[in-house]
A and B are shown apart, each in its own frame.
Chain A
């Protein structure tokens, strides 16, 4: 990224994809950013993608961190929760353990490491194209989402069903949450960097703002 991103960006959001290994986080992201589908090898550490989006008249820059689901990387990914406005929890509708792990493992990680108390969580059941093998029903997903206060969608990175929508809903919700966009706005004025951390001591931000 060569700094000069041309058009004015209204908000910069940091999103995070988490969930067990093999649920399709990277595929989901690849579908969203490049609209392709590929047989991907497991993510090593973290991956990063950028996506520009215009929603309700706002120009948005999404910085999306795609974390490795494998347990061996768990320690390492903990610091990526920092200052994320949105977290996408992905499970595989054909593997129940990936669903139960969300509450057993991943939600706890979010609680533990997220620095944005209002951070939006989105529950995503992937691989709905393999309906025959489905073991987690949509109702269960809805119940889960209600219980933990998440948004919910089922999608398929393979058939591209709902993929776009899933990111858009999340972003819309972030846009609707004043406490989340307050920060990103401040950064927009002061910093070009997308993933500036939310630092409590610099919270007012307006102090630097000469507008």
Chain B
């Protein structure tokens, strides 16, 4: 812990608090249409104005255990919280980041203000050389981890391509951001949306010079990975300046690492008698970290690598504790005390309480099995961290195995096994199961992705559209009601193949329909009669989708994902499943602790403002609606609601916090989502905090923003 000075730790805590609230504010704002000229209504920047409790507030319990972990003096907590809540909080970002760039001032201040430094700081200041070394070691480990992850991803042919594209876009974006920074954001001529963004990124602006250098370095690292390892350690060209820069970069990595550990760590904290179990890695914390990484100009990939490292550390610590527990176990021990022990450990207790009751329901998103994860990762780590060694790292950074009980994040271990079928018909749904996809299973990933198909010609269509890059997610495909869905999809296909439909397409009738200018009366008779028999199947499927969503929500609430942030992605009726899930979460009073991101593609959902706002509330990070105005099948099957209230899969959703992306040029028909989802997802760049794609995707990937 001493690697970061007390000031740096203080700043880290404060930055996380600010990031939490800024992320929350971002969520409540109309997402600026990057290409379009429409300027959203100017929103006041305070949460309280909107009657919203800031995420930084104590009620959510997202911060205090982190402050505690960072050893920030409790006297300083209210100040941090107030700072984060203040309407002008974003002006504080710059100074707080700048202080991270300053040298450890502990020694200097000790001589001047000898009156009462905290004991911990006096200890650390005695040897300034060592902490720097550990910082460097940590940074190196993170770099190495990142590289090995990338190499691992690259070793798989298909995703490698997607990755490369992502790399290109993100680095391109970095340059663009640099440009933006250099142009003064206050000039009246600047675009309004750009201005707002720039002000969000003010801290970056504050240190444009140094960061651009850094990003240069970053891109270099990407191009020749082999030499990257040396680049960070042995390149003393312009001596002091570069050394300093490296140190600052290392410190930033360390800050993120500390915060990440603090988020995941379960600090035993007693709240008025009852010991409260930390909810684990909260979706809101992850979103805040994402924003913070952007502020600190640390590539999210590095954070993803850190997540793995922290997870590994947690598992290691847990293993040790498990062994101790086994050793000290005695039969005469009272049941309740054992229970408390478990609770403090945070692993099995949670499983027994939450898992047991819901076991039948969950269908089992397995929490990463600790032992399996250990063996899977251990060799990788041995190769990656030769300098410090695992134990060294653990004690060097945060002493995770010490007083802090780690890893409530792995929550309900073994609450179910991935792929377990639902035991029996539940909640009116015949089929509901999670299929693990991708290679990230049992590896201690700290983020879960659940992907849901909504069109299926055959069983494979539940998983096939989602193959490809896992990113940092442990992914599961939800297979639900395949009988109904396949029936519906085939019905639509069949009808499309029929001559009547083809005639209609040829005549361009569909386009007229979707122009939205035609009254219901003017609909082609042929179209209406032809769709009658789709309708009944459609109605059933919609009903099942809503029910499946409810079950999904129950799974998530039960913690079968292991208290890790979840990203939900679905197209067509799959999007409907997600929406129903979100609505159920909202109904149950969930406050964005579980769902991190949501992507709805071609969603058959009406634009009921209240319902969308409710659904938005339970999502901590980005909420994306991809729509295609060419998706006339959706228009047809949903014609009644489309005419009156509008339909999400066909048009923009003008709700604060919902990003819209026009995929009309890619999606010319509803079933195109089966083939194109992968492509669209790649363009969305879910890993970035801000949307960085144009509001309309054109042809094959062409992310050219203005």
Contacts and interface: CB of A to CB of B under 8 A. Distances in A.
Interface of A: 1, 3, 21-22, 41-48, 65-66, 69-73, 75-80, 82-83, 190-193, 195-197
B7 interface: yes
Given A21-B113, A71-B109, A75-B98, A191 B10 contact: no
A194 to B, nearest CB: 8
Contact of A191 (B79, B87, B95, B116): B87
A45 B80 contact: yes
A191 B46 contact: yes
A84 to B, nearest CB: 11
A193 B21 CA distance: 15
Given A45-B14, A45-B79, A76-B96, A3 B88 contact: no
A46 B83 contact: yes
Contact of A196 (B46, B72, B116): B46
A41 B116 contact: yes
Contact of A197 (B5, B91, B113): B91
Contacts of A72: 5, 7, 105-106, 108-109
B486 interface: no
Given A76-B96, A195-B86, A47 B49 contact: no
Given A22-B115, A42-B113, A79 B92 contact: yes
B78 A42 contact: no
Contacts of B83: 45-46, 48
Residue among B6, B91, B117 with max Cβ neighbours from chain A (10 Å): B91
Contacts of B92: 79-80
A76 B82 contact: no
A60 to B, nearest CB: 18
Nearest to B103: A72
Contact of A79 (B48, B91, B116, B118): B91
B88 A197 contact: yes
B193 to A, nearest CB: 15
Contact of A82 (B80, B91, B98, B108): B91
Contacts of B11: 45, 76
A127 to B, nearest CB: 14
Contact of A45 (B10, B86, B116): B10
Contacts of B14: 45
Which of A21, A45, A69, A75 has the most C-beta atoms of chain B within 10 angstroms of its own C-beta? A45
B102 interface: yes
Contact of A190 (B44, B79, B109): B44
B79 A46 contact: yes
Contacts of A79: 88, 91-92, 94-95
Contacts, number: 108
Contacts of B108: 71-72
Nearest to A22: B115
B113 A47 contact: no
A32 to B, nearest CB: 16
In the A-B complex, the 7 residue pairs with the closest CB atoms: A197-B88, A72-B105, A44-B76, A48-B82, A46-B79, A193-B46, A47-B79
A42 B87 contact: no
Contacts of B113: 21-22, 42, 69-71
Contacts of A75: 95, 98-99, 102
Interface in B3-47: 5-7, 10-11, 14, 44, 46
B706 interface: no
Contact of A193 (B51, B87, B95): B87
Given A71-B105, A79-B94, A44 B87 contact: no
Interface string B40-80: 00001010110100000000000000000000110110111
A48 B92 CA distance: 15
Contacts of A77: 95
A73 B7 contact: yes
B499 interface: no
B112 interface: yes
Contacts of A80: 92
Contacts of B118: 41
Contacts of A73: 7, 99
**Among A43, A46, A191, residue most surrounded by chain B Cβ atoms (within 10 Å):** A46
Nearest to A83: B88
B220 to A, nearest CB: 30
Contacts of A192: 46, 48-49
A71 B109 CA distance: 7
Given A45-B83, A191-B44, 19 more contacts: A41-B118, A43-B76, A44-B6, A44-B10, A44-B76, A45-B14, A46-B76, A46-B83, A70-B113, A71-B105, A71-B113, A72-B105, A72-B109, A76-B99, A79-B94, A192-B49, A193-B49, A195-B86, A197-B88
22 contacts: A22-B115, A41-B116, A42-B113, A45-B11, A45-B76, A45-B80, A46-B82, A47-B75, A48-B78, A48-B79, A48-B83, A70-B109, A71-B108, A72-B109, A75-B95, A75-B98, A79-B95, A191-B87, A192-B48, A193-B48, A196-B44, A196-B46
A161 to B, nearest CB: 23
